[in-house]
Structure 1
Amino acid sequence: MTHPGTPRDQQPTTGEQAPTGGHQTADPYTRAAARAAEDPEGFWLEAAGLIDWTTPPTRALDDSRAPIYRWFPDGELNVCYNALDRHVIAGRGDDAALVYDSPVTDTVRTYTYAELTELTARFARVLADRGVGKGDRVIIYMPMIPEAVISMLACARLGAVHSVVFGGFSAHELAVRIDDTAPKAVISTSCGIERSRVIEYKPLLDRALELAEARPEFTVIVQRPQHPCTLVEGRDLDYAELMDATPEGAPCTPVKATDELYVLYTSGTTGRPKGIVRDSGGYATALAWSLPNLFDLHPGDTMFTASDVGWVVGHSYIVYAPLIGGVTTVLFEGKPIGTPDASTFFRVVSEHRANVFFAAPTAMRVIRKEDPEGAFMQQYDLSSVRGWFLAGERLDPDTYAWTTEKLAAATGRDIPVIDNWWQTETGWPIATNPIGLHRFPLKAGSPTKPVPGYQVEIVDAGGEPVPAGQDGLVVIRLPLPPGTMATVWGDDERFVSSYLSAFEGYYLTGDGGYLDEDGYVYVMGRTDDVINVAGHRLSTGTMEAAIAAHPAVAECAVIGVHDETKGQVPRAFVVLADGADTDAEALAGELVTLVRSEVGPVAALKRVDIVPALPKTRSGKILRKTMREIADHRSDVVVPSTIEDPEVLERMRGALEG
């Protein structure tokens, strides 16, 4: 058993164990990948030793319901215990667990493992005293405040299933999720705070509860001093008052490894929601294994993940993985720019001595737009950083190159800028440069190698393998490793039909790409972002990479629009870099020439529109599908509920329809 207090230089990892066969002399990554492929049950049963179990599993994989697989079917544990209590028991109670850094409220507060354990246990008692128990659902509708993390962990402590809804979602979308999970309670707050406004949560929650058919028994409201709200008598309870009246905490409730930990809805959900179900034992094991092996993080280190607990990255690498691994995690309430400026991420890294930074490529692009020379980086001490991870969308080569160059200039060191490809469905990385196992040479445009446990393959539309370097559909051989989705909430058939039925024995990622001759993965975008121009299948990601290389371009998106003759033709939308002084017509001509040179004449790019901003989801993904539907004059245009600013899309509508 590995204990959370063990020093980093004494921490064993599954990747160091030599597999059977001829891999003993290979690097640790190759040994781990080979063993995970050849003996997945042995590999993951050993990895389960990184977790404390009330009933240790004796077998790893249950394939009795294939293609739905379950991990550690006879094991029992509590995820909150693994994230909090065991570190206190190991003598690390005074170590920092959570650092809350909120430039929008001018607040920085550190919670030790002992403090976070005590607060979580007390709030778990608050919920338990009102009937919340094992298997009950609780919706958490909150911004990036410590009470959001406490609420998640309190649910896990009781064996209740939490579902975090991104703070500020519309009342309708919140109501849809309430109806899908039928929660016993909703935990929310009076408001969220952004750089220039206060977002009132309570009116949104009140309206959602009016719309929902499934009514929770009670709500708990965290009153924020920036905008307190009025509570509904008999339904709404004040968080602070409840905590003051509850001095004793609740114990951890053991659950089966296969029991649900949380439900998280995919960002593109429209109509009937698709709730991704994460189990307890497989998820805890995968995250515990990933932290030292993929991120080179160990007890005493610090991880700053600039995401939101409403997204899967926030679940996995703000909350559960760092705390399970005994690492300090930074909870950041703010934006990459405007709080107060484009220096804020570098300040946080410097002040809290973060060893790993994790954000979306969009964050680096908006920072670059504000600070193209990277001057802010050079104002702060970034010497603690070992890895700069970017995930959530494709890391284009130009953003990779800029970030690498500016970090090197600011630190005088080669800090790896690491693409990180995964999905809400998988819960943790599918492909990355596993710097805790072996640091591979980086290649622009690639997240490097498949993570041990994921057997990534490329097939054509008929399911046949394609040669190295040839584009195709990215699939993963079953079974998926622990930590990936267990099913769709309440609908196993939908899970199978959506993800497992296209090709027998494979999970369909929905992404297109290729593997090169060195086994590096290249993910070029969603399969519906591959366009067909006069019979030629072309990746819009390849065209975007060419356009983004132009110094006048801060961001871009390429979509395929309907054409009577060629089937589809590409159109580019470009946001200019700050200070770019260029004639629009001349720039369009240069970009067309650039794409022709980089991609070839078959790309047939002829139209480039310069726009002030691109429409995105709150997690930073560009709404290419929605843009394409508007450009094609579709009557059934779908605008995702996660859109960041609907006005950006409306301002673009004229250009799209023209």
Structure 2
Amino acid sequence: MIAASRGSAAHSRYGEVYEAWRRDPLAFWGQAAQAIDWMRPPSEVFAPSLGVYGRWFPGAVCNTCFNAVDRHVDAGRGSQPAIIYDSPVTGAKRVISYNGLLSEVRVLAAVLRDIGVGKGDRVVIYMPMVPEAVVGMLACARIGAIHSVVFGGFAARELAQRIADAEPKVILSASCGIEPSRVVAYKPLLDEAIDLSPAKPEVCLILQRPQAEASLVKGRDLDWTETVNRARAAGKAADCTPVEATDPLYILYTSGTTGKPKGVVRDNGGHMVALTWSMQNLYGIAPGEVFWAASDIGWVVGHSYIVYGPLLSGCTTILYEGKPVGTPDAGAYWRVIAEHGVATLFTAPTAFRAIRKEDPQGLLIDNVDMTNFRALFLAGERADPDTVQWAERVLNVPVIDHWWQTETGWAIAGNPLGLGALPVKHGSATVPMPGYDVHILDEAGQDQPRGVMGEIAVKLPLPPGCLPTLWRADERFRESYLEALPGFYKTSDAGYIDEDGYLFVMGRTDDIINVAGHRLSTGGMEEVIAAHPDVAECAVVGASDPVKGEVPVGFVVLKSGVARPPEEIEAEIVARVRAEIGPVAAFKLAVTVARLPKTRSGKILRGTMKKITDGETWSVPATIDDPAALDEVAAVLARRRGRAAAP
């Protein structure tokens, strides 16, 4: 158990709040639950006998859409902006009030209901950052359907895996997504994914965008705008469907170490309680203020803090279809903050590394009126101290690193601005949030002393808002997260806790790499590379990158007798990974070697290969089978990168 930091700021309430949770967790979360409008209030806060490790607020009845939209209208705040859509890639801007959002959600919910979507049915959403995507999420929540948003940058095979697992009745999609330099046609990818998947949707509702309209499949596809307009003209509107607090709100797929994605389940009740608590106490945001999470709705940050967190709290959320640089320049974020009165920005460190690369002196922020701006939060990957310190200098506001996962849905550790910020330690995510009893364990599951690196684990039960299980995979949930460390949730991250109780998260312990805040499986990339007809075996490691945090590097061993130039095959491998995983993988470097370094038991020495790739000091492990294999990896990389190998 972590005590309040000895270095706590005198005005911070963190210590007393964390101690209140530790002293009586049920009373703490019961009190927090009073911020939610329940159709039937919870009579029990937590039931340890239900589910895999227990369930929060069993027996309570609620509706997430009602809490995110209707109740703000009922409270007389319908004219307040709910969503500000800002799209520098198209030049479009739009402000949607809570009244307007309610109207749009009610009609789309009625369309889904008339198609036959009901409580518990799944709807896959494969869309760009447009208001219709958020309306789609809320419409599903309104009628008790379970949405599963898939990031638009994923290729057809990745989308097909998710369709196969979720078995959606309907898919909501768009004709295209728009990047700064190109238009990405979504519809051909969707059609191919449906062909690949054994599960087939009954209907696809397609939003036609003028940049690239799509052909519709007769008998399956419907034009979004035409269908919604007909329903609106007919006076169609759906009311909120009561659901159990423990019913699923959504499924969000995250990379699995086997290459098969894991469907993280988020419930309705605990999710609302946790996010509402975090908006006020962690981010320090009040109703009516403008909050901007510069992410994508395809990722957990988009779910929690573009859509649900801000709307549950009655804030105005920014929906940004653009990049930190290139739309049009490295001052894009400052323009959005100033124009829309953003109070707090939440983004990934990679965004600020990109901005810093283009504008190292921060000149583009000069003469920009950012009067309302008061904090920057970073998450999605480790925030390196150089980037944090640069942001502090150019912004002159608190820059707060915090740490969480797709599985948890909100911060495990952070610096609680709403409770009074604690002193910053660069490189640390600061302290655990209430609900998280964080431990550093060795391989035997024993607590490590302060300052000693180990496996970061959270003592069960996990707090509200965290995953109760994986979609239709309780046993996989146990195997993936609970079995290795009995009584704990295994984060698969490594780190340590210092003498003041500050948590330092140093990296992953499995083969998931973090590319610009996106968790991607090297195992999945290896599957693609291994399918090349000329490849005998391969390994992918994450190499440190000054902008993206990590980028994948593929090492390949060619089959005997292959006569073609290695460079030609490497180019094909890069193209394959980009086609099958998607450009989001940022896979650009494949390296041919004669053999992969392995232990005598046949395990590839990925950790040592990563050190070589990063230019770090490395040593030959005692368990290695052929030490010369490591020397070759170093030599080949040195030749490819034009620098001397470092033994």
TM-score range, shorter chain: 0.7 to 0.9
Q: Deviations over 1:400-428 (max 9, x none)?
A: 111111112xxxxxx11000100000000
1:385 aligns with 2:373: yes
Counterpart in the other structure of 1:454: 436
Cα distance in 1 between the residues matched to 2:386 and 2:558: 32
1:485 aligns with 2:467: yes
Cα distance in 2 between the residues matched to 1:145 and 1:634: 46
Worse overlay, 465-474 or 84-93:
465-474
Alignment of structure 1 residues 147-162 onto 2, 5 Å: 147-162=132-147
The partner residue of 1:326 within 271, 290, 314 is 314
CA contact (8 A) 1:267 1:642 kept: no
1:644 aligns with 2:583: yes
CA contact (8 A) 1:36 1:452 kept: yes
Cα 1:145–1:293 shift into 2, 3 Å: same
Cα 1:84–1:204 shift into 2, 3 Å: same
Q: Deviations over 1:49-78 (max 9, x none)?
A: 110000000111110047522100010100
Cα distance in 1 between the residues matched to 2:279 and 2:455: 29
Counterpart in the other structure of 1:611: none
The Cα of 1:528 is off from its aligned counterpart by 4.4
Cα 1:180–1:242 shift into 2, 3 Å: same
CA contact (8 A) 2:108 2:136 kept: yes
1:133 aligns with 2:118: yes
The partner residue of 1:439 within 410, 418, 421 is 421
Count of paired positions: 545
1:49 aligns with 2:37: no
Q: Secondary structure at the match of 1:144?
A: coil
The Cα of 1:271 is off from its aligned counterpart by 3.4
The Cα of 1:249 is off from its aligned counterpart by 1.3
1:87 aligns with 2:64: no
Cα 1:245–1:484 shift into 2, 3 Å: same
Structure 2 unmatched ranges of 5 or more: 1-9, 515-540, 561-572, 594-611, 614-632, 637-647
Q: Secondary structure at the match of 1:622?
A: strand
Q: Secondary structure at the match of 1:186?
A: strand
Counterpart in the other structure of 2:299: 311
Cα 1:646–1:32 shift into 2, 3 Å: closer
Cα distance in 1 between the residues matched to 2:138 and 2:309: 12
1:252 aligns with 2:240: yes
The partner residue of 1:372 within 354, 360, 363 is 360
CA contact (8 A) 1:477 1:506 kept: yes
Cα 1:195–1:114 shift into 2, 3 Å: same
Cα distance in 2 between the residues matched to 1:572 and 1:108: 38
Cα 1:633–1:198 shift into 2, 3 Å: same
CA contact (8 A) 1:29 1:452 kept: no
Q: Structure 2 counterpart of 1:499, which letter?
A: Y
Cα distance in 2 between the residues matched to 1:634 and 1:63: 54
The Cα of 1:147 is off from its aligned counterpart by 0.4
Cα distance in 2 between the residues matched to 1:34 and 1:41: 13
Q: Deviations over 1:596-624 (max 9, x none)?
A: xxxxxxxxxxxxxxxxxx7xxxxx5524x
Q: Deviations over 1:87-135 (max 9, x none)?
A: 0000000000000000000011100000001100100000001100100
The Cα of 1:639 is off from its aligned counterpart by 6.3
Counterpart in the other structure of 1:73: 58
Counterpart in the other structure of 1:29: 14
Q: Deviations over 1:432-487 (max 9, x none)?
A: 10010121010100111101111111111111111111111111111110000111
CA contact (8 A) 1:175 1:211 kept: yes
Cα distance in 2 between the residues matched to 1:66 and 1:355: 39
Cα 1:271–1:466 shift into 2, 3 Å: closer
CA contact (8 A) 2:157 2:581 kept: no
Cα distance in 2 between the residues matched to 1:632 and 1:516: 43
Counterpart in the other structure of 1:523: 505
Q: Structure 1 counterpart of 2:480, which letter?
A: S
Cα 1:440–1:26 shift into 2, 3 Å: closer
The Cα of 1:246 is off from its aligned counterpart by 1.1
The partner residue of 2:555 within 617, 625, 630 is 630
Alignment of structure 1 residues 11-410 onto 2, 5 Å: 27-65=12-50, 67-247=52-232, 248-267=236-255, 271-408=259-396
Counterpart in the other structure of 1:562: none
The partner residue of 1:426 within 408, 429, 435 is 408
Q: Secondary structure at the match of 1:148?
A: helix
CA contact (8 A) 2:543 2:550 kept: no
The Cα of 1:38 is off from its aligned counterpart by 2.2
CA contact (8 A) 2:348 2:379 kept: yes
Q: Secondary structure at the match of 1:355?
A: strand
Q: Structure 1 counterpart of 2:498, which letter?
A: D
Q: Secondary structure at the match of 2:282?
A: helix
Structure 1 unmatched ranges of 5 or more: 1-24, 409-414, 531-539, 542-569, 576-613, 615-619
CA contact (8 A) 1:67 1:505 kept: no
Q: Structure 2 counterpart of 1:145, which letter?
A: V
Q: Structure 1 counterpart of 2:309, which letter?
A: A
Q: Secondary structure at the match of 2:327?
A: coil
Q: Structure 2 counterpart of 1:277, which letter?
A: V
Q: Secondary structure at the match of 2:440?
A: strand
RMSD of aligned Cα (Å): 2.6
CA contact (8 A) 1:137 1:163 kept: yes
Counterpart in the other structure of 1:471: 453
Cα distance in 1 between the residues matched to 2:586 and 2:42: 52
Q: Structure 2 counterpart of 1:113, which letter?
A: Y
Cα 1:361–1:571 shift into 2, 3 Å: closer
Cα distance in 2 between the residues matched to 1:471 and 1:168: 35
Cα 1:634–1:422 shift into 2, 3 Å: farther
CA contact (8 A) 1:67 1:479 kept: no
CA contact (8 A) 1:268 1:642 kept: no
Cα distance in 2 between the residues matched to 1:653 and 1:324: 51
Q: Structure 2 counterpart of 1:50, which letter?
A: A
Cα distance in 1 between the residues matched to 2:260 and 2:585: 21
Q: Structure 2 counterpart of 1:419, which letter?
A: D
Cα distance in 1 between the residues matched to 2:69 and 2:257: 33
CA contact (8 A) 2:123 2:147 kept: yes
Cα 1:273–1:198 shift into 2, 3 Å: same
CA contact (8 A) 1:67 1:500 kept: no
CA contact (8 A) 2:148 2:251 kept: yes
Cα distance in 1 between the residues matched to 2:264 and 2:489: 15
Cα 1:643–1:202 shift into 2, 3 Å: closer
Q: Secondary structure at the match of 1:166?
A: coil
Cα distance in 1 between the residues matched to 2:558 and 2:441: 32
The partner residue of 1:499 within 451, 469, 481 is 481
CA contact (8 A) 2:440 2:448 kept: yes
Cα 1:573–1:100 shift into 2, 3 Å: closer
The Cα of 1:349 is off from its aligned counterpart by 0.6
CA contact (8 A) 1:307 1:359 kept: yes
Cα 1:189–1:300 shift into 2, 3 Å: same
Q: Secondary structure at the match of 1:295?
A: coil
CA contact (8 A) 2:276 2:312 kept: yes
The Cα of 1:186 is off from its aligned counterpart by 0.3
Q: Structure 2 counterpart of 1:299, which letter?
A: P
Cα distance in 2 between the residues matched to 1:137 and 1:573: 38
